[in-house]
Structure formats: C-alpha cells, structure tokens
Chain A
Amino acid sequence: MVRSQVLICGGTGCTSSGSPKLQAEFEKQLELNGLSDEIKLVRTGCFGLCALGPVVIVYPDGTFYSRVEEKDVQEIVEEHLLKGRPVERLVYADTGEETAKAKVETALNETRFYKAQNRVVLRNCGVIDPENIDEYIAMDGYAALGKVLTEMTPEDVIKCISDSGLRGRGGGGFPTGRKWALCAPNKAPQKYVVCNADEGDPGAFMDRSVLEGDPHCIIEAMAIAGYAIGATKGFVYVRAEYPIAVKRLTIAIAQAREYGLLGKNIFDSGFDFDLQIRLGAGAFVCGEETALMTSIEGNRGEPRPRPPYPAVRGLYNSPTVENNVETFANVPQIILRGADWFASMGTERSKGTKVFALGGKIEHTGLVEIPMGTPLRTIIEDIGGGIPNGKKFKAVQTGGPSGGCIPNSLIDTEVDYDNLTAIGCMMGSGGMIVMDEDSCMVDMAKFFLNFTVDESCGKCTPCRVGTRRLMEILEKITSGKGELEDIDRLESLCQYIKENSLCGLGQTAPNPVLATIKFFRDEYVAHVVDKKCPAGVCKDLLTYVIDKEKCIGCGMCARNCPANAIARTDYTAPGHKLASFAIDAAKCIKCGACLANCKFKAISKQ
C-alpha cells in the first residue's frame, strides 16, 4: 500500500540539471531502507520552476524541494520519508519568508511563484507521470473524447469551442472555433488535423513542456478536432531538437492505440482517428502553417500564398485544421467543463489563460500560466520574483523574433491579445525575455534580427535581402559609424519589409527594430550622435580606462590582458609605492578582463 509519493521533475530543464541521477539514487535509498513498497517514485513533466531544478516534491504533505543533489537523497529518505522530518535546508524558501518554520510550511501552491497562477493548460504538468496513460485517465483524461463521441454532434463541438472564445495560442490569436467551422463543411475524401509543435522562438519552451508533461491531452484534443471537422488522420509536427517530447509523445500514441483511443471505431462510435509524428529539422519558417504543411509533404519548408487557406486546401491539397500545442491543450478542458467556464477567465476578447516561458534577467526562470488580463507587473515582480542583483527593470521582450518590447513605463499593461497589439507589441507564442539596465536595446534588436536573417527561407526578396540590409545598418550604428538618417532608413525599410513579405516571418521580422526605436529612440540617438552605448554593451563604443590616482600598480590587469594592451607608466600616485598602469586603446580588444580582475576599482568603462 503506497502511503507517500515522491515526484521527480523529468522536464528538459531538470533532466539536464541531473534529475535522472536523483531517480536512480532514490530507488537505491528506498530499497536500502525497505520503503520501496510504501513509497512510490513518479517522474513527471515540468513543474515550471526551472531555475531551481532539479525539483522534487513529496506527497501527501506537498513538501517542495529545490536544487536537490544526488548526495541529498539519502538524507531526504532517512529523515523525511522514514521519520517524517522534512529536510529544511532543501525546502524551497519563498522570498520574503524568514523563519525556517515558515519555510517548511510554505506549501507549493502558496508560494508567490504559484499563487498568482492559474494552471489550466499545465494542470497535469508536474502532477502525473506522462508515460502512464492510466494516470492521465485518472485525471479525467479521455473523458472529453468520450463525451464528444457519445453525446455531441460535430456541430455541438464547434459551437462549444466557438462559445468559449478560445483563440490560437501560437501567436496570431485567430479564433479556434471559427477555424474549425471554416473547415468542417468542406467535402473531401480525406481531411487532416495538424498540431504545430515547431516552437522556434529563442527562449520559448511552453509547447515542449506540455508535450513532455501531458502528451495525452494533445492526442485527445486532436481526436476531438478530427471528429469536429470530419478528419480521420492527424500529424504532430515537432522539432527533432525536442528528444524528450518526441519520446513521450511516441509512447503516448502507442498507449492510446493499445487502449483503442486511437484507431478504428473509437468508443464504439464508428469514428476512426490516428496520428503520426513528423520531425522537423528546426527551420524557424516551418512554424508558419503553410510552410509546415509543405514540410510534412516532404518538400523544402517554404510558405505559399493564402488564400486558399488550409481550411480549404491545406495538407496534400485537402482541407486541414492546424492548431498550436497550447491551443489544443485547452480543448479537452473546455469540452468537460463547458464554454462558460472557460469564458469566465480572462478579458473581454481574450479568454482563458496563457502560458509564458520566463527568461532573461529574472529571479525565477521558468514556466508560468496566468489568466489573460494579468498585469505584466504581477508576472515580473510577483511570479518571476523580480530582477536579480538589485538591478533595475528596463523592458520585457515578448513574441521572440516576431515581437516587440514593453518598456518600464507600460509595466502595468494587462496582458492580452488586444492590449499588446495596441502598444505595438504582440502576444507571440509566449516567450518572455526580461531585460535589466545592463541590456542594450540596439544590441537586442540586432540579436533577433540576426536570427531572422539566418532563418529567412529566401523565397521573398524583401525578407531575404531586406533583413540583411537592416542588419548592416544596425551593425553600422553599434560600431559607432551611424548617422541620424540611419534611424529613419531603418524605419522606412522596416515598413517596406512588413508590407511586402509573403508570410508571417517576413511580416513580423522588423518588429524588434521598430519596437525598440519606438520606445528607446534615445538609445539609438546615443549610439549615433554621442557614439556611446548607455548600457555598456556595444564594444566598439566603449573605452576601458584606468584611473591613475586609484591604481596601486599591482599589475593584475596587465597579467590578465590577452592582448598585451596594458603597460606600466612613469606616474606614481601620491600615497602609492608603485607606478600606475595605462591601457593602449589601439591594442585593447575590450574583453573586460582587466575590469573583472582589478580589486581596487581603478578601471571603468566609458
């Protein structure tokens, strides 16, 4: 009889910080203490607090251990599992809590990280074993599919999804119910359901975590979509760079087939549905729906003009519905709990919740799910725990290479599709990269543009050539050779690329440049006119100087300089015994090694 369960996170973050080793050690220690029969180990999907991994949670008390190492396992087993005394030093301490007692009693759901969250999409992530279909069923899994096939007509299903107000979570925000309704009436011998799991934005890992933590819910949702539009085949297009997601999804599909939840005549309803996985080679453009379908067909991933929309002519020229992972993950819940329940969360035109991958200069890097309409400040300061090292918040970048940035002045914006569009930003698929005062906005625009220059498929000239020209102008600015006219040139070229590209990649590629010019024009001007980088990032605009009065002549800087650019001078400052050093600006490569090694704060960058 199992009296306690130990959940070990098996998401990508915790797997790379060592959770498989922990599991082996737990097995060994439980065996040694004769507890194997009463305590069960479960490997789950992502808990969301990736920054504190590997994480372990012990039920029924819900004690949350963070940063657990192999050597800690013995103590947890002997103290907590055997004697009931949680190992306090490993219990996740919520920031702000002081006494050890308070720490231990901080149940997981009461921590600041989880308190403001509302987990709908992620409800099973970190709770069930993703490789065990029975655990999914125990959490009402496949009940929605059962309900749809036995009680509802395809029209009912589409109406339910439409009424819920669910919109596409991949970034565009197109109403999911309308997408299905457009596809359903089209007659064809074969229709398709496609799941877009080609999550390509740098810093985004929402879809990966859902596939890793709750793969069955995607299978169930796709079967429901298939029933609604009259499709019997589905494809999940997932990046080959997501090995854990691919593995768990493969296992889940096999289990669903074994139970007859995929295949012929599901629930004796006469409805057939089956799924296949297609691995993507990691091209960003394949996240665009038409390019994705071209890639599934075995061709080079390039977008094609719309219309005809996929709902009319999609995969293999057949009517197709394509939705993103997170969109699908909402579907079974909406069917079970009703459109009204879903529509009760969120704002007027953005219903439900949204998952964000928090990254960059933030205390709690990880995965969060919030109701639509939550202020950005709550996400950054409460859930995210604020900016580390007492630095100041500068901006947050949303939507990756297609998105824009939100500056400090707009931090109280309530996050939903329309509010973000209104301030010239976009929801995007959910990447959220936080920047502090040490981040240069011109450099950030350059980073994302560099990505789109690489990822442009080359089909349209404005995108292929235009993004490269943008990149060159940005490089000119950051190397100190920019002119004021360059900022105007950037803006007009951005507009041209937006208006003349075929697909979403080109149409949105200039967004990071436009948004940073809009909110941080003064930084561009500083680079161009004053030839300075206010954040101290752009190397060509920096000079390292030694304050000859503060330099005690120890020579640490000169010894660590890789370019031999530092030499002793003739000058000895009053009160010091040795002559000071100076940097030869012509030789300096601006690596910053001298600054990092000076113990007397005599070196600064200007």
Chain B
Amino acid sequence: MKSLAELQKIKERMKDRVVLREGTGDIRVVVGMATCGIAAGARPVLNEFVKDVSEEGLSDKVTVSQTGCIGICQFEPVVEVFEAGKDKVTYVKMNSDKAKEVVERHLKGGKVIEEYTIGAYQV
C-alpha cells in the first residue's frame, strides 16, 4: 500500500459489510418471514431488497431486516417500511419486481407507491 487512495478503496469495498453492525439507518425495511410469508414467496423479496439497497448505495440509511408473522397472512409477502417521523407504510402481496420498484421509487425517490400498499387492497 503506497497511498491513502488505496486505503480508501479497501474501506469502500468493506463498508457494506460493517455498516450492518453500526445500528439502524433512518429507514427500516422489514420483510415478514414467518411460515406464511416464506410459503408465499418472501425469500426472493428479502433477497431483492438486500441486493438493491446495497447496489444503489443506500446501505448507510436503509436497514433491511426480517420479522415474524405480522398477522395478515392472506396478504403475504408483506413488507413494512419504517421511517422516523413518518407513518409506517405496509406493502402487501409483494414479489421481487415490486421490491425493485419500491427501492427505486420509495427508498430512493421518497415517493410511496400507493397501489402496492394495504390501503389499495382493502378498499
């Protein structure tokens, strides 16, 4: 190693790995991963979130986590987005394509995708 730039490069490369341990970011994405969720296909959704958040460079402010059964099994896979000072957003009947969209439009763009939320289904 002959320069600070090289040191910085290693730091960048490793950042994703340790940022996970620095506590939660501003936004928390929680995927329901109980039996009902997994059976309905929550695993690819979770993996898509983890992959996209990292690829889009959102690891600093977004934490992707999992939880158990939320209690609305007919709507699984369910994804909830928590953001400090804002109402919780609950996305239902998710798949990996929708997950990609949520990362792009909601987490990055800051706009809730109304048609995927539980509100759209209940009406």
Which residues of chain A have C-beta atoms less than 8 A from B68's C-beta? 83-85
Which residues of chain B have C-beta atoms less than 8 A from A422's C-beta? none
Contact among A61, A83, A107, A135 for B34, CB-based, below 8 A:
A83
CB-CB contacts of B2-26 with A at 8 A, as 1s and 0s? Answer: 1110010011011111101101100
Total A residues in contact with B, Cβ cutoff 8 Å: 36
CA distance A329 to B46 in the complex (A): 39
Contact among A139, A260, A268 for B18, CB-based, below 8 A:
A139
Query: Across the interface, do B4 and A261 meet the contact criterion of CB distance under 8 Å?
Result: no
Q: Which residue of B lies closest to A139 (CB)?
A: B18
Binds B, one of A142-150, A445-453, A545-553: A142-150
Contact among B3, B17, B33, B38 for A2, CB-based, below 8 A:
B17
Query: Across the interface, do A138 and B10 meet the contact criterion of CB distance under 8 Å?
Result: yes
Query: Across the interface, do A83 and B35 meet the contact criterion of CB distance under 8 Å?
Result: yes
Q: Which residue of A lies closest to B9 (CB)?
A: A137
Query: Across the interface, do A7 and B11 meet the contact criterion of CB distance under 8 Å?
Result: no
- Confirm or deny: B92 has a beta carbon within 8 angstroms of a beta carbon on chain A: no
Q: Closest Cβ of chain B: how far from A7's Cβ, in Å?
A: 7
Q: A84-B33, A142-B7, A267-B4 are in contact. Are A1 and B17 (CB under 8 A)?
A: no
CB-CB contacts of B108-120 with A at 8 A, as 1s and 0s? Answer: 0000000000000
Q: Which residue of A lies closest to B48 (CB)?
A: A1
Q: Which residue of A lies closest to B52 (CB)?
A: A1
Q: Which residue of A lies closest to B49 (CB)?
A: A3
Q: Closest Cβ of chain B: how far from A91's Cβ, in Å?
A: 14
Q: A60-B64, A62-B23, A83-B35 are in contact. Are A138 and B11 (CB under 8 A)?
A: yes
CA distance A1 to B4 in the complex (A): 28
Q: A84-B67, A127-B21, A134-B14 are in contact. Are A259 and B50 (CB under 8 A)?
A: no
- Confirm or deny: A74 has a beta carbon within 8 angstroms of a beta carbon on chain B: no
Q: Closest Cβ of chain B: how far from A172's Cβ, in Å?
A: 34
CB-contacts of A244-274 with B (<8 A): 259-261, 265, 267-268
CB-CB contacts of A137-161 with B at 8 A, as 1s and 0s? Answer: 1111011001000100000000000
Q: Closest Cβ of chain B: how far from A79's Cβ, in Å?
A: 9
CA distance A328 to B4 in the complex (A): 22
Query: Across the interface, do A3 and B34 meet the contact criterion of CB distance under 8 Å?
Result: no
Q: Closest Cβ of chain A: how far from B31's Cβ, in Å?
A: 7
- Confirm or deny: A316 has a beta carbon within 8 angstroms of a beta carbon on chain B: no
Which residues of chain B have C-beta atoms less than 8 A from A259's C-beta? 1
- Confirm or deny: B96 has a beta carbon within 8 angstroms of a beta carbon on chain A: no
Query: Across the interface, do B46 and A3 meet the contact criterion of CB distance under 8 Å?
Result: yes
- Confirm or deny: A571 has a beta carbon within 8 angstroms of a beta carbon on chain B: no
Query: Across the interface, do A7 and B21 meet the contact criterion of CB distance under 8 Å?
Result: yes
Which residues of chain A have C-beta atoms less than 8 A from B18's C-beta? 127-128, 135, 138-139
CB-CB contacts of A1-29 with B at 8 A, as 1s and 0s? Answer: 11111010000000000000000000000
Contact among B4, B13, B50 for A3, CB-based, below 8 A:
B50
Query: Across the interface, do B1 and A267 meet the contact criterion of CB distance under 8 Å?
Result: yes
- Confirm or deny: A59 has a beta carbon within 8 angstroms of a beta carbon on chain B: yes
CA distance A543 to B1 in the complex (A): 71
CB-contacts of A106-122 with B (<8 A): 107, 109
- Confirm or deny: A241 has a beta carbon within 8 angstroms of a beta carbon on chain B: no
CA distance A143 to B12 in the complex (A): 13
- Confirm or deny: B90 has a beta carbon within 8 angstroms of a beta carbon on chain A: no
Q: Closest Cβ of chain A: how far from B104's Cβ, in Å?
A: 17
- Confirm or deny: B51 has a beta carbon within 8 angstroms of a beta carbon on chain A: yes
Query: Across the interface, do B17 and A84 meet the contact criterion of CB distance under 8 Å?
Result: no
Tell me which of A3, A127, A265 has the highest count of chain B C-beta atoms within 10 A of its own C-beta. Answer: A3
CB-contacts of A18-71 with B (<8 A): 38, 40, 59-62
CA distance A1 to B13 in the complex (A): 13
CA distance A85 to B4 in the complex (A): 43
Which residues of chain B have C-beta atoms less than 8 A from A128's C-beta? 18
Contact among A38, A138, A143 for B17, CB-based, below 8 A:
A138
Which residues of chain B have C-beta atoms less than 8 A from A40's C-beta? 17
- Confirm or deny: B66 has a beta carbon within 8 angstroms of a beta carbon on chain A: yes
Query: Across the interface, do B2 and A267 meet the contact criterion of CB distance under 8 Å?
Result: yes
Q: Closest Cβ of chain A: how far from B58's Cβ, in Å?
A: 13
Which residues of chain B have C-beta atoms less than 8 A from A146's C-beta? 4, 7
Query: Across the interface, do A1 and B47 meet the contact criterion of CB distance under 8 Å?
Result: yes
Which residues of chain B have C-beta atoms less than 8 A from A4's C-beta? 20, 66
Tell me which of A85, A150, A261, A265 has the highest count of chain B C-beta atoms within 10 A of its own C-beta. Answer: A85
Query: Across the interface, do A3 and B64 meet the contact criterion of CB distance under 8 Å?
Result: yes
CB-contacts of B67-111 with A (<8 A): 67-68
Query: Across the interface, do B10 and A137 meet the contact criterion of CB distance under 8 Å?
Result: yes
Which residues of chain B have C-beta atoms less than 8 A from A150's C-beta? 4
- Confirm or deny: A82 has a beta carbon within 8 angstroms of a beta carbon on chain B: yes
Query: Across the interface, do B2 and A268 meet the contact criterion of CB distance under 8 Å?
Result: yes
Which residues of chain B have C-beta atoms less than 8 A from A1's C-beta? 47, 50-51, 54
Query: Across the interface, do A82 and B33 meet the contact criterion of CB distance under 8 Å?
Result: yes
Q: Which residue of A lies closest to B35 (CB)?
A: A83
CB-contacts of A122-140 with B (<8 A): 127-128, 134-135, 137-140
Which residues of chain B have C-beta atoms less than 8 A from A265's C-beta? 2
Which residues of chain A have C-beta atoms less than 8 A from B3's C-beta? 267-268
CA distance A60 to B37 in the complex (A): 20
CA distance A137 to B18 in the complex (A): 10
Which residues of chain A have C-beta atoms less than 8 A from B10's C-beta? 134, 137-138
Query: Across the interface, do A38 and B50 meet the contact criterion of CB distance under 8 Å?
Result: yes
Which residues of chain B have C-beta atoms less than 8 A from A61's C-beta? 65-66
Q: Which residue of B lies closest to A256 (CB)?
A: B1
CA distance A375 to B18 in the complex (A): 33
Which residues of chain A have C-beta atoms less than 8 A from B66's C-beta? 4, 61, 83-84
Q: Closest Cβ of chain B: how far from A142's Cβ, in Å?
A: 6
| A5-B17, A127-B18 known, 16 other contacts, Cβ within 8 Å | A1-B51, A2-B16, A38-B50, A59-B21, A60-B24, A60-B64, A62-B23, A84-B67, A85-B67, A85-B68, A135-B17, A137-B14, A259-B1, A260-B1, A267-B3, A268-B3
A residues near B (Cβ < 8 Å) are 1-5, 7, 38, 40, 59-62, 82-85, 107, 109, 127-128, 134-135, 137-140, 142-143, 146, 150, 259-261, 265, 267-268
Those 3 A-B pairs whose CB atoms lie nearest each other, nearest first: A84-B66, A138-B14, A84-B33
- 24 residue pairs bridging A and B, Cβ less than 8 Å apart: A2-B16, A3-B46, A3-B50, A4-B66, A38-B47, A59-B21, A60-B64, A61-B66, A62-B23, A62-B24, A83-B33, A83-B34, A83-B37, A83-B38, A84-B31, A84-B34, A84-B66, A85-B34, A134-B10, A138-B15, A259-B1, A261-B1, A265-B2, A267-B3
